[in-house]
Each structure stands twice: as C-alpha cells, then as structure tokens.
Structure 1
C-alpha cells in the first residue's frame, strides 16, 4: 500500500472514519493531514504517515480502514523520484471536509457528491453482473454500490438492463478502473457534443457519442 492508497482509503470511508473518532483524535487528524499536505520529501511524509497510523489505531477493529491497514502491512512508496510526497489535492479536500460545518463534513469531494446525487439504482435493481466492466459502479458512503440510472433501459419486467452504447463507451473510458472519471464524463458538460452526454442518449446517434469518448481517450 502506498501513501496515496491510504489517502484514497480514507476518502472512501470518510464519514464513518470521522464518526468513529473522539474530538481529540479529530484534532490530531487535522494536524496530521496538514503535515502530510505540507511534506516536501520522503522523510516528512513518512513522519506524517506514522502519526496518521497512530491516530487511526483508535478506530474499531472491524472498521474498513483499520482492516485494510492491517492487511496491507508496511507502507511503500511507488516510483523512484527523489521527492516522494502524496498528492496534496485529496489530502487538502479531506482537511477542508474536517473543518466544514457538520452538515458538509461527510463530503470531502464536491465532484463525487454531485455524481452521487444523480439518479441511480441499487445492485438488486440491475439486470447485469455486478462486476461488469461496461458499467459504472459508484460507492456511496451510506447506501453502498450505486449504478447511475442513465446507463439503463427498463425491459418488460421493469428490471434495468444496460444500454449497449453505454457499455461500449464505459469500456473506452475504463470505467472499471476509474468509475468516477467515467461518471463525470457522462454527467458533465461536453463541448464536443454541446451538451451532457447522459442527456443525449437516444437523441444523438450512438456512434457520435462513442466518437466523443474516443476523442477524449485518444487525446490523452
């Protein structure tokens, strides 16, 4: 597990993590996150990570973050760069969420909050394998796995079935690896299409939607 993996783990389970810590531990968590964001090299980063893991020892044994850290063992840096630090953007997002008013403290990422607010289905309502790489699956901190509704059409049994063009495009966007990025493409404005791709399903030819996705992928 890398330092960035630990930050991603915290983001995934943020509301539950904050709720499990007492006020003193939350204050220490804020100080540790600030130190992690300010670290300028591997030594500073490692020191902040040691403090972070001490704070997280206060989590219940069955907490998903505690379980993942126990299974991961040592923290290792990836790559060979001389300056080894974490990505500051998600760390600062967590820090901002910790200082936010109570009604916003559970939302460390406004983009994810926007995507989770879109109409979605639970796994039980989807007529497809949960691990289908052609489907976007977003993890809701309270509701579990959610599948954005635009991906499906209802069949005669009122069971949602995936739209073929959505599966093609989701594979282009590597939705199985980056579901949030794929969801943001579908639910955000697209200058090439002059609209929101999810809203254009059925009114714009499938090939035009796929071509817009290929433009993005090939442009990268």
Structure 2
C-alpha cells in the first residue's frame, strides 16, 4: 500500500473512523495528520505513517480500515522524493477542526429524555418492540418510559404500541409520539402511562396509524 493509497483509504471511511475513535485518539489523529502534512522527506513521511498505523489499531476488528491494513505489511513509495499528496491530508485535517454540525433538534430532544444503556436492558428479561435510539457519544439507549419504575422490565403496553407504531423501522418517529404532546390524549403519552388506561393509549396510537 502506498502512502497515497493509505490516505485515500482513510478518506473513503472517514466518518466511520472518527465515530470509532474516542476523543483522545481523535486528538492524536489530528497531531499525526499534521505531522504527515508537514513531513519534508521520505523518511519523515514513513515515520508519520507508521505512527498513524499504530493509532488505528484502536479501530474494531471488523472496521474497513482495519481489514484493509491487515493485509498490508508496509508502505511503498519512491525513495527519492515526496511520498504523499498533502492536499487530501489537509482536507481531512480541515474536517477534524471544523465546528460540529448542528444536531437535529427533534433527535436532540429525544436523546435528552431519561434513558437506559443497552447493557442494562440486555441484562433484563427483554421484550420485542422496544425503542432503541443511537446516541452519538453514549451508544445505544432505550428511553426510560418503556420500563417499570426502577427496573429494566419492559411494560407490555409499550411493546404493543411500539409494534403499532412500527418502532423497529422508525424508532425516532415512535419515540417522538411517546415523548411529544398528543392532542387526542391531551398530554404526553409517556407521562400518562399508569394514569390513563392502556386501552386508551393504544387507541390513540391506532388512530395515528390508521389515520395515515
């Protein structure tokens, strides 16, 4: 693999690579890329690439960059001249230093609601139809309203309604129904669990589905 092929590999899988690295590794990645961009001789380029390769060992085994590097023993390049095109390296650096994109306000609101981590839910009895939301920093989260108070035991009525709302296909839409104000119920469905009959909550969800 040549140095330019290595940079192209990073570019092609850049979002997945950043998502798989923790904040400290991303900071180190920025430093190493800067070192690669400023390298002025083949030896410095090779040294920067070796350090980058060591850092990328933190990626999961199934990551496409890991799989591509696994079959590559060393970097190849001309011994008497620059070995890497700095333009794409600087482009990657620019994305690292760019301000983060503004989050979707609806998803941000849903992710701010109380939730349980996937590990805690997996330890419970389980229930088909639970809403699972992907948090960009915390991983998979399950909105807390789906469980009996103080436990990871799913509420049967939530599972039934989630299936009506096709939460397996559109977890964000289902979560928005539960956590948004419902005109038919005159309240927020998640807050009405236990105080409004299950049948009434189910009718409200069915009204939405059949109305579509």
TM range (shorter): 0.5 to 0.7
| Partner SS state of residue 103, structure 2 | coil
Question: What whole-Å deviation, never above 9, does each CA across 1:181-213 have from its counterpart, x for those lacking one?
Answer: 000000001000000000000000000000000
Name the CA distance, whole Å, in 2 between partners of 1:107 and 1:210: 35
Change (3 A) 1:106 1:211: same
* 2:166 equivalent in structure 1: 174
Deviation at 1:216, TM superposition (A): 0.3
| Partner SS state of residue 193, structure 1 | coil
* 1:137 equivalent in structure 2: 132
Matched, 1:205 2:197: yes
Root-mean-square deviation over aligned CA pairs: 3.9
Name the CA distance, whole Å, in 1 between partners of 2:191 and 2:17: 31
Matched, 1:111 2:106: yes
Gaps of 5+ in 2: 1-12, 31-55, 68-94
Deviation at 1:13, TM superposition (A): 6.6
- 1:46-61 counterparts in 2 under 5 A? none
Name the CA distance, whole Å, in 2 between partners of 1:178 and 1:14: 26
- In 2, are the aligned partners of 1:153 and 1:163 still within 8 Å (CA)? yes
How high is the TM-score relative to the length of structure 1? 0.52
Deviation at 1:134, TM superposition (A): 1.3
Name the CA distance, whole Å, in 1 between partners of 2:64 and 2:103: 22
Change (3 A) 1:67 1:184: farther
Change (3 A) 1:188 1:15: farther
Deviation at 1:159, TM superposition (A): 3.7
| Partner SS state of residue 199, structure 1 | helix
Q: Could you list the runs of 4 or more consecutive aligned residues of structure 1 that deviate by over 4 angstroms after TM superposition?
A: 12-15, 19-22, 60-63
- In 2, are the aligned partners of 1:138 and 1:180 still within 8 Å (CA)? yes
Matched, 1:151 2:146: yes
Q: What is the number of equivalent residue pairs in this alignment?
A: 143
- In 2, are the aligned partners of 1:15 and 1:141 still within 8 Å (CA)? no
Matched, 1:187 2:155: no
Decide which structure has the larger Cα Rg and report it.
Answer: 2
